[in-house]
Amino acid sequence: MDQEHIHDDTAPSGGPACFCTLVTSGQEERFARLLIESLRAFGGPLSRSPVWVFHLGEPSPDPFPGGEGVRLVPLDIEGGSHFWFAPKVHACAQAEGMAGSDFRSLVWLASDCLILNPPLLFDLAWPGDASFGAAFRTVHHANIGSRAQDPLDEFWSAVYGAVGLDEAPFAIESFVDRQQIRPYWNTHCFSIDPARGLLGAWRERFVAMVTDRAFQAGPCRDEHHRVFLHQAVLSALVSKELDRDQVRMLPPEYSYPLHMHAQVPPARRARALNDLVCAVHEYSLPVEDIGVREPLRTWLSDRLSVEHGEADSE
């Protein structure tokens, strides 16, 4: 493995939370820089938290200039590496191993996220409650999710069997299409206690299911189930290992889907970016149909003009 690159030997370490993301392309690298800048600008008490950026291949020279507390880490990936979202699963497990007992909360953010207000609920100990083992946002659409009123299908039966779970202990509601489903969590943004070993177990079960030929040729034979297998496995693991009161249910201001803004029911639709904590844009910025008040408007405009300039120069 290549030597890890640390931008600043005096970078913050320890404390309540460490943030992690993954970059696999120049575009993701640029937006990861925007993500980190947004955390530093709007993260409040968590703004100086360490950030670990996992990468595949060779990153650009000094991709995060002036990035105090940013650590660039080569991704150590093995079995099932070419499967949908496999790099993400491996990055999360690797981060968990690195974190040890140094952090109470390991926060995963996809590179296409922005922090717009202090993300205090990612700190599993905040405000002094040490009972949470994880914090998740429900999925936007039920998609392959298992409807709470229906029996488990072959896919979910196999996933539950792989983690040793008989049945889900409760139901949740998907955000956009408002379906009652068994626990099925969005993984754009979440927080987890690294001491519980859930992310290492996620990698182990995920690789096992990816390399299970019968499962791949049967219940997981279509692209839709393969794309979301990673979320299904983690959701099942969380249901198996954590009680309901150990999972912090993040509110709609977290992992808000800007790329689906028009699909969100009007009563649930955000009026302005400033009202959100963490938003997902899937690299489609700026968003035209949502308000942006100052000072965020100028902050975002300045950085997007730079990002578009860099993209045009490639």
pLDDT tens by residue, 129-171: 678 999 999 999 999 999 999 999 999 999 999 999 999 999 9
Residues 6+ apart with CB under 8 A from 62: 7
Question: What domains can be seen in the chain, in order of their start residue?
Answer: 5-307 (3.90.550.10)
Which tens digit of pLDDT belongs to each residue from 246-291? 999 999 999 999 999 989 999 999 999 999 999 999 887 777 789 9
Name the phi and psi angles at 121, rounded to 5: -75, -10
Task: Report the pLDDT value the prediction gives residue 307, as an integer from 0 to 100.
Answer: 55
Distance from C-alpha of 182 to C-alpha of 168, rounded to nearest angstrom: 6
In tens, the pLDDT along 31-60 reads 999 999 999 999 999 999 999 999 987 777
3-state secondary structure of 173: strand
pLDDT score, position 1? 27
Tens digit of pLDDT for each residue in 69-95? 999 999 988 766 789 999 999 999 999
The three-state secondary structure class of 172 is strand
Mean pLDDT of 171-195: 97
Cβ proximity of 176 and 263 under 8 Å: yes
Give per-residue pLDDT as tens, 2-38: 323 333 333 333 468 999 999 999 999 999 999 999 9
The answer to whether residue 314 scores a pLDDT higher than 60 is: no
Band of pLDDT at residue 310, cut at 50, 70 and 90: low
* Residue 270: predicted pLDDT: 95
Q: How confident is the model at residue 66 (pLDDT cuts 50, 70, 90)?
A: low
* Mean pLDDT value of segment 205-231: 97
Closest CA relative to residue 50, chosen from 62, 59, 38, 39: 39
Stated pTM of the model: 0.90
Weakest mean pLDDT among 205-209, 273-277, 302-306: 302-306
Is 65 a residue whose pLDDT tops 80? no
Residue 311 reports pLDDT greater than 80: no
CA separation, residue 175 to residues 55, 275, 299 (Å) = 31, 17, 29
**Residue 312 predicted with pLDDT over 60:** no
Q: At 281, list the tokens.
A: 């844009």
Q: What pLDDT was estimated at residue 298?
A: 95
Residue-level pLDDT at 282: 87
Alpha-carbon span 132 to 243, nearest angstrom:
9
Q: For residues 80 and 9, what is the distance between their CA atoms, to the nearest angstrom?
A: 34
Structure tokens at 252: 């709609």
